[in-house]
Amino acid sequence: MAGYFKDIWLGVSTVLIGMHITFKHWFKFKKAVTIQYPHEILEMNERTRAHLFNVADECAVCLQCARACPVDIIDMQGIRADKDEDLGLLPTGKPKRMHLIKFDIDFSKCVYCGLCVEVCDTKSLHWRAPVEPCTFTREEMYKSFATIPPDEVERLIAFDAERKVKKAEEMAAKKAAAAAAKAAKAAKAKAEAEAKPAEAGADAPKAAKSDVGEEKKETPAASDTPEKPGTPDSPDAPENTPKPEPDKS
């Protein structure tokens, strides 16, 4: 009977304690913690991963970010500037040598891991404060950060192709020259080899001996797999050796 009344008393008193606590919150003895977002904006930390942005003028087009990206969503392309072209200095102090003609990020796939920002040497790719804007379509989330206008991009591509052609021609010329030199060298070597044919005949038995040694090594593996030609009749045996090795271990 005492337990019964004690239970009731416990119930009533704990309800009153609870009501006291909620009452304190209700009447603002503790202030509301709500941030009324569109009207007041919570200040984010410097490293908050909210909104990815790339400054095209500061980008060295080193492709480090595209390599670091775990979901391969950074689609970037650069064109080497002409030797006498001045593109300004990068934040690292070195001169900018590449035109950034394409830097697209598909934010619908981005996992906001920040690996691309970690590896960025020039810090041109960085986090910004406001959150990524929402969109009505998936295509809108595909964003481009390259600032070069399209006609300029076309000009650069044409220039690059021209340069490549030029370079290829140069290379071809170089190659032809090198080939000519090689041919001359080879002719010279042939003449030398023909001069002493006896030496090659003396080396042949040594090579045959080493082949036999390898064959012996193979035999345990060969017995496991009899259908396999374990004892090759040709002296090309060393080519087969990598295959039985996993069986042994």
- According to the binding rule CB under 8 A, does residue 10 interact with another protein? no
Token readout for 173 is: 């010329």
d(CA 24, CA 28): 7
- According to the binding rule CB under 8 A, does residue 72 interact with another protein? yes
- According to the binding rule CB under 8 A, does residue 9 interact with another protein? no
Side-chain-side CA neighbours of residue 240 (13 Å): 19
- Contact residue for another protein among 1, 2, 3, 31 (CB under 8 A): 31
- According to the binding rule CB under 8 A, does residue 1 interact with another protein? no
What Cα–Cα distance (Å) separates residue 75 from each residue in 14, 35, 63, 104, 108?
A: 62, 37, 9, 5, 14
Question: Per CB under 8 A, which region of 70-78, 85-93, 96-104, 152-160 contacts another protein?
Answer: 70-78
- CB of 191 within 8 A of CB of 202? no
- According to the binding rule CB under 8 A, does residue 74 interact with another protein? no
- Contact residue for another protein among 9, 10, 13, 15 (CB under 8 A): 15
The radius of gyration of the chain from alpha carbons, rounded to an integer in Å, stands at 37
Min dist CB 181 to another protein, Å, is 48
DSSP for 47-96?
Answer: T---EEEE-GGG-----HHHHH-TT--EEEEEEEPPTT----B-TTSSBP
Question: Per CB under 8 A, which region of 101-109, 167-175, 194-202, 221-229 contacts another protein?
Answer: 101-109
Secondary structure (3-state) at 46: coil
- According to the binding rule CB under 8 A, does residue 229 interact with another protein? no
Question: Is the Cβ of residue 18 or residue 95 nearer to another protein in the bound state?
Answer: 18
In the chain, the amino acid numbered 154 is E
- The footprint of another protein (CB under 8 A) covers 8, 15, 18-19, 21-23, 25-28, 30-38, 41-42, 50, 70-72, 106-113, 130-138, 140-141
